[in-house]
Chains A and B, each alone.
Chain A
Amino acid sequence: MIEVKNLHKSFGDQSVLKGLDIVMHTGKCNLIIGSSGSGKTVMLKSMLGLLHPEAGSIAFDGRDILSMVPQEARKLRQEMGMVFQGSALFTSSTIAENVKMPLDFFTSLSEEEKMDRVHFCLDRVRIENAAQKFPAELSGGMQKRVAIARAIVLNPKYLFCDEPNSGLDPETAMVIDNLIQDITQEYGMTTIVNTHDMNSVLEIGEHVMLLKGGLKVWEGSKEEILRADTPDVQDYVFRSHLMKRVREALRG
Protein backbone atom coordinates (compact mmCIF):
# COMPACT_ATOMS: atom_id res chain seq x y z
CA MET A 1 0.00 0.00 0.00
CA ILE A 2 1.18 3.52 -0.77
CA GLU A 3 -0.12 6.37 1.34
CA VAL A 4 0.24 9.94 0.15
CA LYS A 5 -0.58 12.47 2.86
CA ASN A 6 -0.93 16.24 2.68
CA LEU A 7 1.40 16.55 -0.33
CA HIS A 8 2.31 20.10 -1.35
CA LYS A 9 4.40 20.95 -4.40
CA SER A 10 4.88 24.32 -6.08
CA PHE A 11 6.90 25.60 -9.01
CA GLY A 12 7.76 29.23 -8.30
CA ASP A 13 4.53 30.87 -7.21
CA GLN A 14 2.39 28.24 -8.95
CA SER A 15 1.04 25.69 -6.53
CA VAL A 16 0.43 22.32 -8.27
CA LEU A 17 -0.31 19.95 -5.39
CA LYS A 18 -2.29 21.55 -2.57
CA GLY A 19 -2.38 19.00 0.22
CA LEU A 20 -3.07 15.84 -1.76
CA ASP A 21 -4.24 12.76 0.19
CA ILE A 22 -4.37 9.47 -1.68
CA VAL A 23 -4.07 5.77 -0.86
CA MET A 24 -2.99 3.22 -3.49
CA HIS A 25 -4.22 -0.32 -2.86
CA THR A 26 -1.96 -3.36 -3.00
CA GLY A 27 -2.58 -5.89 -5.79
CA LYS A 28 -4.73 -3.47 -7.75
CA CYS A 29 -4.47 -1.16 -10.74
CA ASN A 30 -4.81 2.31 -9.22
CA LEU A 31 -5.69 4.75 -11.99
CA ILE A 32 -5.09 8.46 -11.60
CA ILE A 33 -7.14 10.54 -13.99
CA GLY A 34 -7.54 14.26 -14.43
CA SER A 35 -7.11 16.96 -17.01
CA SER A 36 -3.73 18.43 -17.94
CA GLY A 37 -2.30 20.52 -15.09
CA SER A 38 -4.28 18.68 -12.42
CA GLY A 39 -1.03 17.43 -10.83
CA LYS A 40 -0.98 13.78 -11.98
CA THR A 41 2.56 13.77 -13.32
CA VAL A 42 3.89 15.91 -10.46
CA MET A 43 2.36 13.46 -8.01
CA LEU A 44 3.86 10.47 -9.85
CA LYS A 45 7.31 12.07 -10.05
CA SER A 46 7.11 12.98 -6.36
CA MET A 47 6.28 9.37 -5.52
CA LEU A 48 9.28 8.22 -7.52
CA GLY A 49 11.51 10.73 -5.78
CA LEU A 50 12.24 12.63 -9.00
CA LEU A 51 10.64 15.77 -7.54
CA HIS A 52 10.92 17.02 -3.99
CA PRO A 53 7.63 18.26 -2.49
CA GLU A 54 7.70 21.05 0.08
CA ALA A 55 5.48 19.21 2.55
CA GLY A 56 3.69 15.91 3.11
CA SER A 57 4.66 12.25 3.18
CA ILE A 58 4.67 9.35 0.70
CA ALA A 59 4.81 6.06 2.58
CA PHE A 60 5.57 2.81 0.73
CA ASP A 61 4.27 0.18 3.16
CA GLY A 62 5.14 2.54 6.00
CA ARG A 63 8.48 3.80 4.60
CA ASP A 64 8.37 7.51 3.83
CA ILE A 65 10.52 8.18 0.74
CA LEU A 66 10.54 11.93 1.39
CA SER A 67 12.32 11.59 4.72
CA MET A 68 15.03 9.28 3.32
CA VAL A 69 18.58 10.27 2.38
CA PRO A 70 19.30 9.81 -1.37
CA GLN A 71 21.07 6.45 -0.84
CA GLU A 72 18.08 5.03 1.08
CA ALA A 73 15.67 6.37 -1.53
CA ARG A 74 17.70 4.65 -4.28
CA LYS A 75 17.51 1.40 -2.34
CA LEU A 76 13.72 1.74 -2.11
CA ARG A 77 13.52 2.53 -5.83
CA GLN A 78 14.91 -0.93 -6.54
CA GLU A 79 11.47 -2.16 -5.43
CA MET A 80 9.81 0.04 -8.08
CA GLY A 81 9.31 -0.42 -11.79
CA MET A 82 8.40 2.44 -14.09
CA VAL A 83 6.91 2.55 -17.56
CA PHE A 84 7.55 6.02 -18.96
CA GLN A 85 5.25 7.80 -21.39
CA GLY A 86 7.94 7.70 -24.10
CA SER A 87 9.21 4.26 -22.96
CA ALA A 88 12.65 5.77 -22.11
CA LEU A 89 14.57 2.81 -23.49
CA PHE A 90 18.33 3.16 -23.83
CA THR A 91 18.67 3.76 -27.54
CA SER A 92 22.24 2.52 -27.92
CA SER A 93 21.51 -0.81 -26.21
CA THR A 94 19.65 -3.82 -27.57
CA ILE A 95 16.28 -4.83 -26.15
CA ALA A 96 17.88 -7.66 -24.17
CA GLU A 97 20.51 -5.27 -22.76
CA ASN A 98 17.78 -2.78 -21.81
CA VAL A 99 15.86 -5.41 -19.87
CA LYS A 100 19.03 -6.90 -18.35
CA MET A 101 20.35 -3.61 -17.01
CA PRO A 102 18.63 -3.71 -13.56
CA LEU A 103 19.82 -7.32 -13.17
CA ASP A 104 23.41 -6.27 -13.98
CA PHE A 105 23.33 -3.64 -11.28
CA PHE A 106 21.37 -5.22 -8.49
CA THR A 107 21.77 -8.99 -8.63
CA SER A 108 24.67 -11.37 -8.43
CA LEU A 109 23.15 -13.82 -10.92
CA SER A 110 25.36 -15.46 -13.53
CA GLU A 111 25.16 -14.20 -17.11
CA GLU A 112 23.16 -17.29 -18.07
CA GLU A 113 20.67 -16.81 -15.25
CA LYS A 114 20.26 -13.16 -16.16
CA MET A 115 19.57 -13.99 -19.79
CA ASP A 116 17.03 -16.64 -18.70
CA ARG A 117 15.22 -13.95 -16.67
CA VAL A 118 15.40 -11.49 -19.59
CA HIS A 119 13.91 -14.04 -21.99
CA PHE A 120 11.22 -14.92 -19.44
CA CYS A 121 10.19 -11.26 -19.13
CA LEU A 122 10.27 -10.66 -22.88
CA ASP A 123 8.23 -13.80 -23.36
CA ARG A 124 5.78 -12.56 -20.71
CA VAL A 125 5.13 -9.40 -22.72
CA ARG A 126 5.17 -11.42 -25.96
CA ILE A 127 8.16 -9.92 -27.76
CA GLU A 128 10.67 -12.70 -27.31
CA ASN A 129 11.88 -12.44 -30.92
CA ALA A 130 12.95 -8.77 -30.52
CA ALA A 131 15.73 -9.46 -28.00
CA GLN A 132 18.60 -8.57 -30.32
CA LYS A 133 16.92 -5.57 -31.95
CA PHE A 134 17.46 -1.92 -31.00
CA PRO A 135 14.58 0.25 -29.70
CA ALA A 136 14.49 2.32 -32.90
CA GLU A 137 13.63 -0.85 -34.85
CA LEU A 138 10.42 -1.42 -32.85
CA SER A 139 6.96 0.12 -33.06
CA GLY A 140 5.62 2.33 -30.23
CA GLY A 141 3.50 -0.54 -28.86
CA MET A 142 6.45 -2.94 -28.84
CA GLN A 143 8.63 -0.33 -27.12
CA LYS A 144 5.98 -0.05 -24.41
CA ARG A 145 6.09 -3.82 -23.94
CA VAL A 146 9.87 -3.70 -23.59
CA ALA A 147 9.47 -0.92 -21.03
CA ILE A 148 7.05 -3.15 -19.10
CA ALA A 149 9.47 -6.08 -19.33
CA ARG A 150 12.27 -3.88 -17.97
CA ALA A 151 10.01 -2.59 -15.22
CA ILE A 152 9.13 -6.09 -13.96
CA VAL A 153 12.51 -7.78 -14.38
CA LEU A 154 13.41 -7.31 -10.68
CA ASN A 155 9.96 -8.42 -9.49
CA PRO A 156 9.03 -4.95 -8.18
CA LYS A 157 6.47 -4.39 -5.44
CA TYR A 158 5.30 -1.13 -7.03
CA LEU A 159 4.72 -0.49 -10.73
CA PHE A 160 4.26 3.04 -12.06
CA CYS A 161 2.96 3.76 -15.55
CA ASP A 162 2.82 7.29 -16.93
CA GLU A 163 0.24 7.44 -19.71
CA PRO A 164 1.17 4.01 -21.06
CA ASN A 165 -1.28 4.31 -23.94
CA SER A 166 -0.31 7.67 -25.33
CA GLY A 167 0.39 7.53 -29.04
CA LEU A 168 -0.96 3.98 -29.44
CA ASP A 169 -3.86 2.79 -31.56
CA PRO A 170 -6.94 1.56 -29.60
CA GLU A 171 -6.19 -2.12 -30.18
CA THR A 172 -2.56 -1.88 -29.03
CA ALA A 173 -3.64 0.36 -26.14
CA MET A 174 -6.03 -2.34 -24.96
CA VAL A 175 -3.31 -5.00 -25.20
CA ILE A 176 -1.01 -2.84 -23.05
CA ASP A 177 -3.82 -2.17 -20.54
CA ASN A 178 -4.58 -5.85 -20.19
CA LEU A 179 -0.91 -6.68 -19.89
CA ILE A 180 -0.54 -4.20 -17.02
CA GLN A 181 -3.60 -5.62 -15.28
CA ASP A 182 -2.50 -9.25 -15.75
CA ILE A 183 0.99 -8.53 -14.43
CA THR A 184 -0.41 -6.63 -11.45
CA GLN A 185 -2.59 -9.57 -10.46
CA GLU A 186 0.09 -12.15 -11.23
CA TYR A 187 2.75 -10.52 -9.04
CA GLY A 188 0.44 -8.89 -6.47
CA MET A 189 1.97 -5.49 -7.17
CA THR A 190 0.68 -2.05 -6.30
CA THR A 191 0.25 -0.50 -9.73
CA ILE A 192 -0.29 3.20 -10.33
CA VAL A 193 -1.35 4.30 -13.81
CA ASN A 194 -1.56 7.92 -14.86
CA THR A 195 -3.91 8.25 -17.77
CA HIS A 196 -6.21 10.50 -19.77
CA ASP A 197 -7.73 7.56 -21.54
CA MET A 198 -11.29 6.69 -20.47
CA ASN A 199 -11.00 3.38 -22.34
CA SER A 200 -8.22 2.42 -19.91
CA VAL A 201 -10.39 3.46 -16.97
CA LEU A 202 -13.22 1.25 -18.15
CA GLU A 203 -10.85 -1.61 -19.03
CA ILE A 204 -8.63 -1.87 -15.94
CA GLY A 205 -9.90 0.77 -13.46
CA GLU A 206 -10.19 -1.25 -10.25
CA HIS A 207 -9.47 1.82 -8.16
CA VAL A 208 -9.87 5.17 -9.92
CA MET A 209 -8.98 8.59 -8.49
CA LEU A 210 -9.82 11.89 -10.13
CA LEU A 211 -7.50 14.84 -9.50
CA LYS A 212 -8.45 18.45 -10.00
CA GLY A 213 -6.42 21.50 -9.08
CA GLY A 214 -3.91 19.47 -7.12
CA LEU A 215 -6.49 17.68 -4.97
CA LYS A 216 -8.32 14.35 -5.14
CA VAL A 217 -11.95 15.16 -5.88
CA TRP A 218 -13.35 11.66 -6.40
CA GLU A 219 -12.45 8.00 -6.01
CA GLY A 220 -14.16 4.74 -6.75
CA SER A 221 -14.22 1.84 -9.18
CA LYS A 222 -14.83 1.81 -12.95
CA GLU A 223 -18.41 0.73 -12.32
CA GLU A 224 -18.98 3.57 -9.87
CA ILE A 225 -17.48 6.28 -12.08
CA LEU A 226 -20.18 5.72 -14.72
CA ARG A 227 -22.88 6.35 -12.13
CA ALA A 228 -21.16 9.17 -10.25
CA ASP A 229 -23.09 12.41 -10.49
CA THR A 230 -20.64 14.83 -8.84
CA PRO A 231 -19.97 17.88 -11.05
CA ASP A 232 -16.22 17.13 -11.24
CA VAL A 233 -16.76 13.61 -12.58
CA GLN A 234 -19.50 14.82 -14.93
CA ASP A 235 -17.15 17.52 -16.23
CA TYR A 236 -14.21 15.26 -16.80
CA VAL A 237 -15.65 11.87 -17.69
CA PHE A 238 -18.73 12.78 -19.68
CA ARG A 239 -17.34 15.63 -21.72
CA SER A 240 -16.89 13.56 -24.90
CA HIS A 241 -19.80 12.72 -27.17
CA LEU A 242 -19.05 9.02 -26.85
CA MET A 243 -19.15 9.06 -23.05
CA LYS A 244 -22.39 11.06 -23.08
CA ARG A 245 -23.89 8.27 -25.21
CA VAL A 246 -22.53 5.69 -22.76
CA ARG A 247 -24.22 7.54 -19.88
CA GLU A 248 -27.50 7.76 -21.76
CA ALA A 249 -27.33 4.06 -22.55
CA LEU A 250 -26.67 3.25 -18.89
CA ARG A 251 -29.63 5.34 -17.83
CA GLY A 252 -31.73 3.38 -20.28
Chain B
Amino acid sequence: MVYRFLIGLGAYWAFLRQVFQKPEKGSEYLKSFWREFNDLGVQSIPLVFIVSFFMGAVLTIQTALNLEDPLIPRYYIAIAVREGILLEFAPTIVALILAGIVGSSISGSIGNMRITEQIDALEVMGINPASYLVMPKIVAFVLFSPINLIFAMFSGLLGGYLAGWWLEMLAPGDFIQGLRLEFNTFYIVYSMTKVLIFSFFISSISSYFGFRVKGGALEVGKASTKAVIASILTIIVFNYILTDLLLK
Protein backbone atom coordinates (compact mmCIF):
# COMPACT_ATOMS: atom_id res chain seq x y z
CA MET B 1 0.00 0.00 0.00
CA VAL B 2 2.86 2.41 0.85
CA TYR B 3 4.54 1.44 -2.42
CA ARG B 4 1.34 2.17 -4.38
CA PHE B 5 0.98 5.50 -2.59
CA LEU B 6 4.55 6.49 -3.51
CA ILE B 7 4.02 5.44 -7.14
CA GLY B 8 0.83 7.53 -7.21
CA LEU B 9 2.63 10.50 -5.69
CA GLY B 10 5.33 10.27 -8.34
CA ALA B 11 2.74 10.08 -11.11
CA TYR B 12 0.90 13.09 -9.64
CA TRP B 13 4.17 15.07 -9.61
CA ALA B 14 4.92 14.09 -13.22
CA PHE B 15 1.36 15.11 -14.15
CA LEU B 16 1.84 18.55 -12.55
CA ARG B 17 5.06 19.03 -14.51
CA GLN B 18 3.10 18.27 -17.68
CA VAL B 19 0.38 20.75 -16.65
CA PHE B 20 2.61 23.72 -15.87
CA GLN B 21 4.29 24.15 -19.21
CA LYS B 22 4.43 27.12 -21.54
CA PRO B 23 1.03 27.44 -23.29
CA GLU B 24 0.97 27.00 -27.07
CA LYS B 25 -1.14 30.14 -27.36
CA GLY B 26 -1.82 32.34 -24.33
CA SER B 27 -5.04 33.85 -25.69
CA GLU B 28 -6.68 30.40 -25.98
CA TYR B 29 -5.68 29.54 -22.42
CA LEU B 30 -7.06 32.88 -21.25
CA LYS B 31 -10.41 32.12 -22.90
CA SER B 32 -10.46 28.77 -21.16
CA PHE B 33 -9.48 30.44 -17.86
CA TRP B 34 -12.51 32.76 -17.93
CA ARG B 35 -14.81 29.86 -18.79
CA GLU B 36 -13.49 27.89 -15.79
CA PHE B 37 -13.61 30.98 -13.58
CA ASN B 38 -17.34 31.05 -14.21
CA ASP B 39 -18.00 27.28 -14.13
CA LEU B 40 -15.88 26.38 -11.10
CA GLY B 41 -15.94 29.68 -9.24
CA VAL B 42 -18.94 31.90 -9.82
CA GLN B 43 -21.36 28.99 -10.02
CA SER B 44 -20.24 27.61 -6.65
CA ILE B 45 -21.12 30.85 -4.80
CA PRO B 46 -24.79 29.97 -4.08
CA LEU B 47 -23.82 26.64 -2.52
CA VAL B 48 -21.00 28.17 -0.47
CA PHE B 49 -23.40 30.87 0.70
CA ILE B 50 -26.17 28.47 1.75
CA VAL B 51 -23.88 25.96 3.46
CA SER B 52 -21.98 28.64 5.38
CA PHE B 53 -25.17 30.49 6.35
CA PHE B 54 -26.71 27.45 8.03
CA MET B 55 -23.40 26.37 9.50
CA GLY B 56 -23.08 29.77 11.16
CA ALA B 57 -26.66 29.53 12.43
CA VAL B 58 -26.13 26.06 13.92
CA LEU B 59 -22.83 27.11 15.46
CA THR B 60 -24.50 30.04 17.20
CA ILE B 61 -27.34 27.89 18.57
CA GLN B 62 -25.00 25.20 19.88
CA THR B 63 -22.56 27.68 21.41
CA ALA B 64 -25.42 29.62 23.03
CA LEU B 65 -26.86 26.43 24.52
CA ASN B 66 -23.46 25.43 25.92
CA LEU B 67 -22.67 28.82 27.39
CA GLU B 68 -25.83 29.20 29.48
CA ASP B 69 -24.03 30.68 32.47
CA PRO B 70 -24.80 34.02 34.11
CA LEU B 71 -21.08 34.56 34.78
CA ILE B 72 -20.16 34.37 31.07
CA PRO B 73 -20.96 37.51 29.04
CA ARG B 74 -23.30 36.80 26.12
CA TYR B 75 -20.95 38.34 23.57
CA TYR B 76 -18.59 35.41 24.23
CA ILE B 77 -20.97 33.38 22.09
CA ALA B 78 -20.25 35.65 19.13
CA ILE B 79 -16.49 35.42 19.78
CA ALA B 80 -16.71 31.61 19.69
CA VAL B 81 -18.82 31.73 16.51
CA ARG B 82 -16.43 34.19 14.87
CA GLU B 83 -13.35 32.13 15.69
CA GLY B 84 -15.04 28.91 14.58
CA ILE B 85 -16.17 30.32 11.25
CA LEU B 86 -13.02 32.27 10.41
CA LEU B 87 -10.51 29.67 11.48
CA GLU B 88 -12.13 26.40 10.55
CA PHE B 89 -15.59 26.36 9.02
CA ALA B 90 -15.11 28.86 6.20
CA PRO B 91 -11.80 27.51 4.84
CA THR B 92 -11.97 23.82 5.71
CA ILE B 93 -15.61 22.78 5.68
CA VAL B 94 -16.31 24.74 2.51
CA ALA B 95 -13.21 23.18 0.92
CA LEU B 96 -14.48 19.72 1.87
CA ILE B 97 -17.87 20.43 0.31
CA LEU B 98 -16.27 21.88 -2.83
CA ALA B 99 -14.00 18.83 -3.02
CA GLY B 100 -17.16 16.75 -3.40
CA ILE B 101 -18.93 18.97 -5.90
CA VAL B 102 -16.23 20.71 -7.94
CA GLY B 103 -13.80 17.78 -7.59
CA SER B 104 -16.20 15.20 -8.99
CA SER B 105 -17.24 17.60 -11.75
CA ILE B 106 -13.61 18.15 -12.81
CA SER B 107 -12.62 14.49 -12.76
CA GLY B 108 -15.90 13.47 -14.45
CA SER B 109 -15.55 15.95 -17.30
CA ILE B 110 -11.86 15.21 -17.94
CA GLY B 111 -12.44 11.45 -17.57
CA ASN B 112 -15.25 11.63 -20.09
CA MET B 113 -12.98 13.47 -22.52
CA ARG B 114 -10.39 10.73 -22.02
CA ILE B 115 -12.71 7.81 -22.83
CA THR B 116 -14.22 9.56 -25.87
CA GLU B 117 -10.69 10.19 -27.27
CA GLN B 118 -11.09 13.99 -27.05
CA ILE B 119 -7.81 14.19 -25.11
CA ASP B 120 -6.07 12.10 -27.79
CA ALA B 121 -7.55 14.44 -30.39
CA LEU B 122 -5.93 17.44 -28.65
CA GLU B 123 -2.61 15.60 -28.42
CA VAL B 124 -2.73 14.74 -32.14
CA MET B 125 -3.48 18.39 -32.98
CA GLY B 126 -0.19 19.28 -31.29
CA ILE B 127 -1.80 20.76 -28.16
CA ASN B 128 -0.58 19.74 -24.69
CA PRO B 129 -3.90 18.40 -23.32
CA ALA B 130 -2.76 18.30 -19.68
CA SER B 131 -1.79 21.92 -19.83
CA TYR B 132 -4.73 23.19 -21.90
CA LEU B 133 -7.42 21.32 -19.98
CA VAL B 134 -6.02 21.46 -16.45
CA MET B 135 -3.96 24.61 -15.99
CA PRO B 136 -6.90 27.02 -16.53
CA LYS B 137 -9.00 24.95 -14.10
CA ILE B 138 -6.37 25.06 -11.35
CA VAL B 139 -5.55 28.74 -11.84
CA ALA B 140 -9.23 29.77 -12.01
CA PHE B 141 -10.27 27.74 -8.99
CA VAL B 142 -7.31 28.87 -6.87
CA LEU B 143 -7.76 32.53 -7.80
CA PHE B 144 -11.48 32.35 -7.09
CA SER B 145 -11.04 30.65 -3.73
CA PRO B 146 -10.44 33.89 -1.72
CA ILE B 147 -13.75 35.21 -3.11
CA ASN B 148 -15.46 32.00 -2.01
CA LEU B 149 -13.82 32.34 1.39
CA ILE B 150 -15.09 35.90 1.84
CA PHE B 151 -18.60 34.76 0.89
CA ALA B 152 -18.35 31.85 3.32
CA MET B 153 -17.17 34.07 6.18
CA PHE B 154 -19.78 36.72 5.52
CA SER B 155 -22.70 34.32 5.14
CA GLY B 156 -21.57 32.22 8.15
CA LEU B 157 -21.51 35.27 10.40
CA LEU B 158 -24.79 36.49 8.91
CA GLY B 159 -26.39 33.11 9.64
CA GLY B 160 -25.11 33.23 13.21
CA TYR B 161 -26.35 36.79 13.69
CA LEU B 162 -29.83 36.04 12.32
CA ALA B 163 -30.18 32.76 14.26
CA GLY B 164 -29.22 34.47 17.54
CA TRP B 165 -31.66 37.27 16.93
CA TRP B 166 -34.51 35.09 15.55
CA LEU B 167 -34.33 32.54 18.39
CA GLU B 168 -33.71 35.27 20.98
CA MET B 169 -30.52 33.58 22.13
CA LEU B 170 -28.23 36.49 21.48
CA ALA B 171 -29.07 40.18 21.09
CA PRO B 172 -27.77 41.79 17.85
CA GLY B 173 -25.76 44.27 19.93
CA ASP B 174 -24.02 41.47 21.83
CA PHE B 175 -23.26 39.65 18.59
CA ILE B 176 -21.69 42.72 16.99
CA GLN B 177 -19.73 43.44 20.17
CA GLY B 178 -18.41 39.86 20.21
CA LEU B 179 -17.40 40.04 16.55
CA ARG B 180 -15.33 43.18 17.12
CA LEU B 181 -13.73 42.23 20.43
CA GLU B 182 -10.04 41.31 20.22
CA PHE B 183 -10.26 40.58 16.52
CA ASN B 184 -7.00 39.21 15.16
CA THR B 185 -6.49 40.07 11.47
CA PHE B 186 -3.94 37.26 11.12
CA TYR B 187 -6.88 34.86 11.17
CA ILE B 188 -7.86 36.15 7.72
CA VAL B 189 -4.33 35.58 6.40
CA TYR B 190 -4.39 32.12 7.98
CA SER B 191 -7.72 31.23 6.35
CA MET B 192 -6.66 32.64 2.98
CA THR B 193 -3.47 30.57 3.06
CA LYS B 194 -5.44 27.43 3.85
CA VAL B 195 -8.07 28.00 1.20
CA LEU B 196 -5.51 28.72 -1.53
CA ILE B 197 -3.67 25.48 -0.75
CA PHE B 198 -6.86 23.42 -0.45
CA SER B 199 -8.17 24.78 -3.78
CA PHE B 200 -4.94 23.81 -5.48
CA PHE B 201 -5.24 20.27 -4.12
CA ILE B 202 -8.94 19.92 -5.03
CA SER B 203 -8.46 21.04 -8.65
CA SER B 204 -5.15 19.30 -9.31
CA ILE B 205 -5.98 15.96 -7.64
CA SER B 206 -9.38 15.77 -9.36
CA SER B 207 -7.82 16.58 -12.74
CA TYR B 208 -5.13 13.95 -12.16
CA PHE B 209 -7.69 11.21 -11.50
CA GLY B 210 -9.81 12.28 -14.47
CA PHE B 211 -6.82 12.43 -16.78
CA ARG B 212 -5.63 8.89 -16.09
CA VAL B 213 -9.02 7.18 -16.60
CA LYS B 214 -8.87 4.05 -18.73
CA GLY B 215 -11.93 2.13 -19.87
CA GLY B 216 -15.52 3.32 -20.01
CA ALA B 217 -18.25 5.22 -18.17
CA LEU B 218 -17.95 2.98 -15.11
CA GLU B 219 -14.27 3.89 -14.71
CA VAL B 220 -15.13 7.59 -14.99
CA GLY B 221 -17.49 7.19 -12.02
CA LYS B 222 -14.84 5.28 -10.06
CA ALA B 223 -12.24 7.96 -10.84
CA SER B 224 -14.60 10.68 -9.57
CA THR B 225 -15.08 8.80 -6.30
CA LYS B 226 -11.31 8.28 -5.91
CA ALA B 227 -10.70 11.95 -6.70
CA VAL B 228 -13.14 13.10 -4.01
CA ILE B 229 -11.70 10.70 -1.40
CA ALA B 230 -8.10 11.68 -2.19
CA SER B 231 -8.96 15.40 -2.12
CA ILE B 232 -10.77 15.10 1.22
CA LEU B 233 -7.96 13.11 2.83
CA THR B 234 -5.36 15.58 1.56
CA ILE B 235 -7.38 18.53 2.90
CA ILE B 236 -7.74 16.90 6.31
CA VAL B 237 -4.04 16.10 6.59
CA PHE B 238 -2.91 19.51 5.36
CA ASN B 239 -5.44 21.22 7.59
CA TYR B 240 -3.62 19.70 10.55
CA ILE B 241 -0.15 20.57 9.15
CA LEU B 242 -1.11 24.18 8.31
CA THR B 243 -2.81 24.74 11.66
CA ASP B 244 0.28 23.48 13.40
CA LEU B 245 2.59 25.62 11.26
CA LEU B 246 0.59 28.85 11.20
CA LEU B 247 -1.07 29.07 14.60
CA LYS B 248 1.57 27.71 16.94
For B68, what are the chain A residues with a Cβ–Cβ distance below 8 Å? none
**Contact assessment for B124 and A80 in the assembled complex, using a CB-CB cutoff below 8 Å:** yes
Q: How many A-B contacts are there with CB distance less than 8 Å? A: 55
**Contact assessment for B25 and A105 in the assembled complex, using a CB-CB cutoff below 8 Å:** yes
**A74-B126, A77-B126, A105-B28 given. 4 additional CB < 8 A pairs?**
A48-B123, A48-B124, A74-B24, A105-B127
Question: Could you list some 16 contacts between A and B, CB below 8 A?
Answer: A74-B127, A76-B126, A77-B123, A77-B125, A78-B125, A78-B126, A80-B124, A82-B121, A84-B120, A88-B120, A90-B121, A91-B118, A102-B126, A105-B125, A106-B25, A160-B124
**Contact assessment for B123 and A49 in the assembled complex, using a CB-CB cutoff below 8 Å:** yes
Q: Is B116 an interface residue (CB 8 A)?
A: yes
Contact with A along B109-121 (1 / 0, CB 8 A): 0000000111011
**Contact assessment for B25 and A104 in the assembled complex, using a CB-CB cutoff below 8 Å:** yes
**Contact assessment for B125 and A86 in the assembled complex, using a CB-CB cutoff below 8 Å:** no
How close is B147's CB to chain A, nearest CB, in angstroms? 24
Knowing A84-B121, A88-B121 touch, does A105 contact B116 (C-beta < 8 A)?
A: no
Neighbour of A50 across the interface among B24, B25, B123, B127, CB < 8 A: B123
Cα A234 to Cα B121 with chains together (Å): 35
| Tally of contact residues, B, Cβ under 8 A | 14
Knowing A48-B124, A78-B125 touch, does A88 contact B117 (C-beta < 8 A)?
A: yes
Band of interface residues on A: 20 to 34
For B120, what are the chain A residues with a Cβ–Cβ distance below 8 Å? 48, 50, 82, 84, 88
Considering only residues 165-189 of chain A, those with a C-beta below 8 Å from chain B are: none
**Contact assessment for B117 and A106 in the assembled complex, using a CB-CB cutoff below 8 Å:** no
For A48, what are the chain B residues with a Cβ–Cβ distance below 8 Å? 120, 123-124
A-B CB proximity, top 9 nearest:
A88-B117, A88-B121, A78-B126, A77-B126, A82-B124, A74-B126, A84-B117, A105-B25, A88-B118
For A22, what are the chain B residues with a Cβ–Cβ distance below 8 Å? none
Considering only residues 42-79 of chain A, those with a C-beta below 8 Å from chain B are: 48-50, 74-78
Cα A247 to Cα B151 with chains together (Å): 75
Considering only residues 93-122 of chain A, those with a C-beta below 8 Å from chain B are: 101-102, 104-106
A residues in contact (CB < 8 Å) with B: 48-50, 74-78, 80, 82, 84-86, 88-91, 101-102, 104-106, 160
For A101, what are the chain B residues with a Cβ–Cβ distance below 8 Å? 125
For A49, what are the chain B residues with a Cβ–Cβ distance below 8 Å? 123
For B177, what are the chain A residues with a Cβ–Cβ distance below 8 Å? none
**Contact assessment for A88 and B28 in the assembled complex, using a CB-CB cutoff below 8 Å:** no
**Contact assessment for A106 and B121 in the assembled complex, using a CB-CB cutoff below 8 Å:** no
Knowing A86-B117, A88-B116, A91-B116 touch, does A104 contact B28 (C-beta < 8 A)?
A: yes
**Contact assessment for B126 and A106 in the assembled complex, using a CB-CB cutoff below 8 Å:** yes
Considering only residues 104-142 of chain B, those with a C-beta below 8 Å from chain A are: 116-118, 120-121, 123-128
How close is B216's CB to chain A, nearest CB, in angstroms? 12
Cα A90 to Cα B117 with chains together (Å): 10
How close is B34's CB to chain A, nearest CB, in angstroms? 15
Cα A48 to Cα B121 with chains together (Å): 10
How close is B4's CB to chain A, nearest CB, in angstroms? 17
Cα A75 to Cα B126 with chains together (Å): 6
Cα A86 to Cα B121 with chains together (Å): 11
Knowing A86-B116, A86-B117 touch, does A105 contact B126 (C-beta < 8 A)?
A: yes
Cα A7 to Cα B117 with chains together (Å): 24
How close is A209's CB to chain B, nearest CB, in angstroms? 21
> Most chain-A Cβ atoms within 10 A of its Cβ — which of B28, B118, B126, B127?
B126
Cα A76 to Cα B126 with chains together (Å): 8
For B128, what are the chain A residues with a Cβ–Cβ distance below 8 Å? 74
Cα A84 to Cα B123 with chains together (Å): 12
Cα A77 to Cα B129 with chains together (Å): 13
Cα A5 to Cα B128 with chains together (Å): 27
Knowing A86-B116, A86-B117, A91-B116 touch, does A105 contact B24 (C-beta < 8 A)?
A: yes
> Most chain-B Cβ atoms within 10 A of its Cβ — which of A80, A89, A105?
A105
Cα A74 to Cα B128 with chains together (Å): 8
Q: In chain A, what residue has the closest Cβ to B127?
A: A105
Cα A89 to Cα B116 with chains together (Å): 8
Q: In chain B, what residue has the closest Cβ to A70?
A: B128
Considering only residues 158-201 of chain B, those with a C-beta below 8 Å from chain A are: none
For A86, what are the chain B residues with a Cβ–Cβ distance below 8 Å? 116-117
